[in-house]
Structure formats: C-alpha cells, structure tokens
Amino acid sequence: MDWEVSAWPYEEVTLCEIWKIRTATVTSLGEEGWSFTSLLQRARQLARRLHTVAPAPGCVGLGVDEGIPMVLLHVAVLEAGMFFLPLDLRQPLARLESMLVTAGAELLVAPSDFSAELAVPLWTLEALVELPDPDVTLKRPSPRDLCYVQFTSGSTGKPKGVLCEHRQAAWYALAKAAAEKVDESSTVLLTAAITFDPCQGDIFCALAAGASLVLAPRVQLLQCLSEVLMSSGATHVCATPALWHLVEEGPGHFSKLRCLSLGGEKMTPKLVDQWASAASAVQLRNIYGVTEATVYQTAMVMSPETSPQTAGKPLPGVRVSVLPWPEGPDGEICLGGPGIARGYLELPELTAARFCCSQQERCYRTGDSGRWMEGPDGRLLQVLGRRDLQVKLNGERIELGEVEHLLSLSPLVRQCAAMPWGQGNLLAYVVLEDGEILDGVAYLCLTAHCDKHLPRVMRPRRFVSVEALPMTPNGKIDRHALPQPGFEMSQKAYQLDTVVSEAEAGQSLTSLEKAIVLAWASELSLSEHWKLGPDADFYALGGGSVQAVRVTRVLRAVLHGGGGGKARWAEGNSDWRNPAGDASLFLAPERAGDAECHFGLCDGGPFAPCALLERPILRQYAHFLASSGVRTSQTDELPDVEAEEAVLPRALESAIRSNREILAHALLVAGADATGDLSARAGTTPLHWASSKCEGSMVQLLVSYGASVVHPTEHGALPGHVACAAGNADALRALLDCGAPPRSRDGTRQSLLHYAVRSGDVATVQLAAEAKAELNCRDLQLRTALHWAALNGDASICSVLLAHRADPHPPKVSDSLHRRRTRLLQETPLELAISRHPENTALHAVLTGDSGDCSEKKVLLIVVSFALLSLRTDLETGLG
C-alpha cells in the first residue's frame, strides 16, 4: 500500500491517565462552572456506587444527554473500570432495547422523566448518588479495555456497535489537542449530540488538554448559536456545516474564536468563502473521519480556493492509503494508526471484512472513494463520496439499506428504495402489494411505520409509489433511473402536502396559518404554484431540522416583532422534550407589557424547532401555537384539530370498512391499536367492524394483535353477535376458532342464534347451531330464535333450527313475568307465522311438522283461535 503517514510518538495510555486535573473546567452555559478537580472527586464517588449495582468491567447505558451530569457520568463510568453506551432516549424503544441488549448493558442511567420499560434496570443519577458510599478500591482500566460502544446505522436493518478502547480514545484526545492547539487557555464549546462521537472526542480532548469545556442545551444551540458562541467565549468548535449555517454573522463578530472544525458533510462554497477568507482570524478546518477509526482522521486548513472535497493531511499518528477500485481512476480510502477501533460488536464476519491487516498493522477500509492530489506541502486527500448505500444526513452516517430494510417490514410494501432528498431529508420509492394504492390512509400508515421503527434522522418524509423499481442488467436497483420527485409527481401520488386552488387555500386558512405558510414558503423556497392547505406537511415539502430553525426564527420575528429587546433564555429546566413549555412567556405583545421578549425555556416554548418537527402538519402546528398563547393581529378561531392519537384508529377503521387487509396489517405493525374503541361508538372495536364486513382472515389478524373476542359494545354485543347479525359465516367461524364463546348473550339477552336468524343467512345459522349456541333461550321480549325465524317468514332457517332440536312449542311463562317483560302476546312460533305470514304454507308446514290436508286443518283451527284472542283489548299483538 502507498501510505501517507503523519509520524507522531504515542505510547498506549488510558483516558484516566491523561486528565489535566488542575486546569480543566466544565461549565454549563448560564450556570456556575465546576473545576475538574471537583468533578473528578464526585465522579470517583459515583464510580464506587456504580460497583454496587453493576460489576466491572460491565456496560452502562447513558441516557443523560446534556449538561454537567452528562460529563460527570462519562468520567464516573471510566473511573469505575466500565465502559458506556451513549443513547438518545427519543429513539424508538425497540431500537433502544436492541442496542442495550446487544451491548450487554447492566443498567441504564436516564433522566427522572423517562419511565419506559426496557430489558435492563433503570436508574437516575439522583438515585445513584443517594446510595451509600461503599468501601471499594477502584481499579484503573488498561489501555486495551473498552471505553465506549458507539452504534452506527447498519445495512442489515440493525445498528452496528463500534468498540472503542481507552488507547484509541486517549490517542484521539491528545492528537486533536496537538493538531488544533487546544491547551489551558482554550475554551471548547460542545455542539455534538451524545450519540455522535465528536461529543466524546471534544469532552476527552478538553479534559486532557486542561481546557475549559462549555456545554449548552441542544435547542439553545439550534435557536441562537451566535449568542451561545459570544457568551461562552469559545475558542474551539467542532460542528457540522448544517449547524454552522445557523450562524448569520461573519468571523469578525467572534473575536475569541480561533479554530473551527467542520465535518460530517460537505461544506458549501459560500461557507468556505466567508470563513476562510484572508480577513478571517479563524482557522477553518475541513475534517474527515469515520467512527471505526475514532472521530476524525484527516484535516485541511481551508482557503477560499480550496475545494470542499479536500480532506487534507492525516492527524498525528494516522496512516492513509487509497486502494484502487477494480475499475475507474479513484480508489477506496483506507485508514491505519492508533485510532483503529477493536471492531464491530458481535459481528465477527463484518469485522474481518472491514478491519484488515497491512504491513503488520490493522487498518480500516472505509468504503469511501478518494484520490490523492498535489498541494503546496505535498499530497492531499480528496474525498469523493460513497461507493455503497451509505449517505450522511445532517452529519450522521446512515445506511440506506437499514432504512429500506425497516420500511420493507411494513406489510404494505413489497419493495422500496430510499434516496437523499432536499436538505437533510430522505425520499422513499415504494412498490406496494397487489391491490393497494398510495392514498391518504396508506401514506399515513407509511409515515407512522417510519415514526415507530426509525430514528428521526433516518425517517423518509416523502413517499412516491411506483409500479416497479428500475433494475440494472446485473439485477440491482438502478437508483439513477428512479424518477425525480417534482410538483407534477406530488399531484399524481397522494401527498400530505395537499395542493389546492388559491381560492380554496385562502378560504380555508386562518390568519395564524397564513403566517406559517408565508414562513414555510420563504424558508423552503416554494414556488408560486404551491398553494398550501391545512393538511400541508412540513417534511413532505422538504423541511428538516435546519429549515425548522429558520422557520421558527421567521415566525418569532413576525409574530413578536422582535419582542422589543434582545432574546434571552429563561432560567429553569432545559429538557426540550417537554412540548408544552412556559406559555406565559409567549403572550401577545399587548399582554406582555414592556417586558423583554423571552424565547422561553430551551425545550418547549412554542417557537422551539422541535415543536414544529413534532407537529409537521400545518393545522396541528398552528393549533399548538395558538394554544400556547401565540396571536396574530387578527383574531379568528382556529378550526378543531383531530387529536394526533386519534389518527391511527381512524385509519384502521377506514382500512377495515374497505376490507383492505394488507393495509390493516400494515397499520397494526405501525402501532395502531387492535383493542381500542373506534370513533364515538362506545365499545365498538376494530374486531366488531371486521366481524361485520370482512373475511375470517381479517378477524384472525386482529386477534393476533390482541383484539378480544369477548369485548362487548355498550349494548353488550360481542364480535360474534356482530358477525351473526351480518350473516358473515366466515368471520363467525374465525371467531369461534379464536375462542369466542358460542353460548353468549348480549344486553337484551339475545344469543348468537337470535342475531344469525335475523340476518337471513342459512350458513351462519347452521354454523352457530353446530357450535352449540343457545337454541331455546328467550330474549327480553320472551322470544326464542325460532320465534324470530317465524316472524321473518324464513322456512329454510326454521328447518335448520328444528333439525338442531329447537322447541316448536316453548312453554309459556307465568303471567306476572310476561307482564313485567312485554305487552306482546304470548305466542308460539307457529302462531306468529300464521298471524304474520298467513299465506306462507311452506313455513306453516315446517313448524307443524306435517303436510297435506291434516296440516291445513290444524292451521285453520289455529287461525280461528288467534281471531278469538285478538278480540281482547288488554294485550298488544305486536303485529303493528
């Protein structure tokens, strides 16, 4: 291999050996900072307590993702001789559980408001601190002990864990400090999320260099990054270009900023021009790296003339080579050096394929295409992109294969292909199962499926239905031949970003919704032919996290007029997951007096970007703003918005009523509840609807997802009664096979046979009778199933009932009971048949069990008797 090597003496050490205890500090913005001496003392106390709940060298899941407690837990786990698994607790629970189980986590440390049940014990930091301090001597880890496991997207549908040892993490901390000149005079601002390994890299680098580490809430970084930079006095920042685009001021505005490292995605030429100009005192570094080789491995100090593809030279100790591809002038970037991770967790074959040996040294094959170019100081690495299905969105590495695998788990989808679309979003092309179309319910189903199974950054926000995916001659999906989604396609395929006429849009939107539409159109660059209705979807229009920040900035300015003062953050809880926020801070200007405009708690004022991301439908977002006290100059009432939790049940009801079993199955997989009540019909469950309208396979499907065969409606009707009433023998057979009780009655004391008889379906009556449904029981009107069959004039059903030994002459009840129950006459089935159907001789013959003249004489006698009874005025005949 032709290696480019940055020689650097490095001896294997652990992180615990390189902390600069005397000078390092940790500060959360707006709070009093901690010296690292104080933090380390508390971390070691916490480390001893960890030994009482988990054995070393076990794994500790870390779900505390902000503030000084996050750093405290990082250090405590390592001082305890354990390793940690950083987690975003907003991810789907199934994914969290998979990672915890795969990593063998002994416990999960989470915020106090997290209460989900997972496969590992749940602890809060407060609960750990309250444990008695045990008499335990902490054993220092060795350089080859695990430091952390970082999960990245995996092509098989499951995330893959990268195992980072102490020696790799310590090397990176020291190498970054040397390359970026981080020292005791530096202030490092942490911008990366806990699940993005630059977070660990910046924490460890700052502590190893004796620098000041400054933390800020994630939402605060998104909403006013410029103010955070100013108030923190940051000298060193590592971020993604997408995040840095939120800084509107130029480099001259930040006098203390010395080094800006941007990576994870390609810089724009505009950003390079602004921040790498000769007038800038900031060193702009374009960094490139992979988690498998520890954070980043190469860097290029940019100038306005430098291509954003230029990744520059290796970090101290790193070795870089470009291995030729079988075809083409470029090659695969291969990395070596002290940062190469141990491998993938429990994936030996993939580890062997990607982590290989060269010249007695382990190296990692990245899968990225690259080439060498000549620069003033020697060869420079250029990164050209991926050769496989891996992309980067908002700085995070995503395997399109994992997105496609999890989306294809929907029973609605036969094939799919995911592609990057817009700025930081994914688009999915789907081939639906036979007979299915991408209408509103199907679109909602796919969105809900992705919300349940995929982290937010990996969720497609637009779907396009195609009859088939284009294929290459060797049988692979031809992604270059997929149609480009445009305005015309959004009309052809159902989209939640509904396109309506200008007049309709004007009539249907409130003043607050119109203000939101203007902000969306401005920040999403929508052309004039987009006329948005109340169901418009922010994601489907191309919105993402960066666009959400810009939109909310515009709305703040428009709806508050700048607030009369500079924005500042309210003190208090900064947990952005609370969607309600402090609405009192967002009253209309006339109610706010002369007070300075507060942008609310970091988490959840109405203008927090996450509030829009969690409510991407226009009317839902407007309703949220209005309910939080946001007003426009006009006062109009906002139309009622259907509760978000009611959408899936309504969709499931629609699928069942239209007998779309595949769609119903897909909705259940996406999280629809097979057991809940539907609409305003108290007690009516999806199984009741299916029992009425669908085949037995739909019934079996719902039961397999927990639907109860004995759940009554408000009138006491079980699904079996509904199937009988509809004459749905196939559904009744499925219910009986699933354990439905044949001898059940409803609130009017009617049996399955009462319902089946009234349906007029002989097969249903036969099935209910064979299942031993109650045959001669009386309802509240004192009628048996045979009474109802006679009343309906159905001779064939009467024959079935009599064949199963229905009593044609049920005994009369006492007069007192009869008067309490009904004012109808006490009649036998034959008497009912004669009075209701006097000319239906076939019915009469079945009920008498005779034929010919004898039968006619009996009938004549009964008719005369009935005529005499009808002269009585104290009884109703029930014939009206």
Q: Are residues 200 and 86 in contact, defined by beta-carbon separation less than 8 angstroms?
A: yes
Q: Is residue 799 part of a domain?
A: yes
pLDDT of residue 476: 64
Token pair of 409, please? Answer: 């788990």
**825, 843, 870: which is the final residue of a domain?**
825
pLDDT of residue 786: 93
Q: Is residue 864 part of a domain?
A: no
Q: What domain count does the chain have? A: 4
Residue 123 — φ and ψ, nearest 5°? Answer: -130, 150
Residue position matching structure tokens 């069942």: 656
* Residue spans of beta strands (DSSP E) within 17-168: 25-28, 34-35, 59-62, 83-86, 105-109, 122-123, 146-152, 160-165
Q: What is the mean pLDDT of residues 813-824?
A: 75
Is residue 358 located within the same domain as residue 250?
yes
* Digit-coded pLDDT (tens) for 262-278: 998 888 888 888 899 87
Residue 56 confidence class, pLDDT cut points 50, 70, 90: confident
Q: Are residues 74 and 11 in contact, defined by beta-carbon separation less than 8 angstroms?
A: no
pLDDT of residue 1: 54
DSSP lists the bridge partners of residue 751 as: 745
Token pair of 670, please? Answer: 């996406």
pLDDT of residue 156: 66
Residue 750 confidence class, pLDDT cut points 50, 70, 90: very high
- CA–chain centroid gap for 350, Å, is 28
- CA–chain centroid gap for 111, Å, is 20
Q: Is residue 4 part of a domain?
A: no
pLDDT of residue 724: 95
Is residue 55 located within the same domain as residue 91?
yes
DSSP lists the bridge partners of residue 182 as: none
Average pLDDT along the chain: 82
The domain of 765 spans: 661-825
* Digit-coded pLDDT (tens) for 247-262: 888 898 999 999 999 9
In the chain, % of residues over pLDDT 70: 83
pLDDT score of 879 more than 60: no
pLDDT of residue 419: 87
Is residue 577 located within the same domain as residue 539?
yes
- CA–chain centroid gap for 720, Å, is 35
Q: What is the mean pLDDT of residues 707-734?
A: 94
Q: What is the mean pLDDT of residues 196-225?
A: 93
Q: What is the mean pLDDT of residues 91-105?
A: 93
CA gap 766, 796 in Å, rounded:
11
Q: Is residue 1 part of a domain?
A: no
pLDDT score of 604 more than 90: no
Is residue 132 located within the same domain as residue 71?
yes
pLDDT score of 680 more than 70: no
Is residue 339 located within the same domain as residue 463?
no
CA gap 324, 332 in Å, rounded:
6
pLDDT of residue 578: 28
Q: Is residue 637 part of a domain?
A: yes
CA gap 394, 731 in Å, rounded:
49
Q: State the SS3 of 461-500.
A: EEEEECCCCCECCCCCECHHHCCCCCHHHHHHCCCCCCEC
Write the CATH number for 797. 1.25.40.20
Is residue 136 located within the same domain as residue 166?
yes
Residue 663 confidence class, pLDDT cut points 50, 70, 90: very high
At 800, the amino acid letter reads: V
Is residue 271 located within the same domain as residue 156?
yes
Q: What is the mean pLDDT of residues 486-512?
A: 47
Write the CATH number for 42. 3.40.50.12780
CA gap 410, 660 in Å, rounded:
14
Q: Is residue 845 part of a domain?
A: no
- CA–chain centroid gap for 21, Å, is 41
Is residue 350 located within the same domain as residue 205?
yes
pLDDT score of 152 more than 60: yes
Q: Is residue 379 part of a domain?
A: yes
Instruction: Please name the helix (run of DSSP H) or strand (run of DSSP E) that holds residue 351, with its range, or none.
Output: helix 348-354
Token pair of 124, please? Answer: 């809060």
Write the CATH number for 406. 3.30.300.30
**353, 386, 419: which is the final residue of a domain?**
386
Strands 310-314 and 378-386: what pairing? antiparallel
**492, 522, 546: which is the final residue of a domain?**
492
CA gap 712, 699 in Å, rounded:
16
pLDDT of residue 880: 33
* Digit-coded pLDDT (tens) for 219-258: 888 888 999 999 999 999 999 887 898 888 889 899 999 9
**pTM passes above 0.85:** no
Token pair of 238, please? Answer: 């590592």
Strands 160-165 and 146-152: what pairing? antiparallel
Token pair of 67, please? Answer: 């503030």
Is residue 20 located within the same domain as residue 158?
yes
Is residue 342 located within the same domain as residue 203?
yes
Closest CA to 499 of 521, 526, 525, 531: 531
Token pair of 756, please? Answer: 């089946």
* Upstream peptide bond of 57 is cis (omega within 30 degrees of 0): yes
pLDDT of residue 201: 97
Least-confidence region, from 53-67, 581-595, 664-678, 851-865: 581-595
pLDDT score of 496 more than 50: no
Residue 114 confidence class, pLDDT cut points 50, 70, 90: very high
Q: Is residue 576 part of a domain?
A: yes
Is residue 711 located within the same domain as residue 782?
yes
Is residue 625 located within the same domain as residue 563?
yes
Distance in angstroms between the alpha carbons of the first and the last residue of the chain: 99
CA gap 548, 94 in Å, rounded:
27
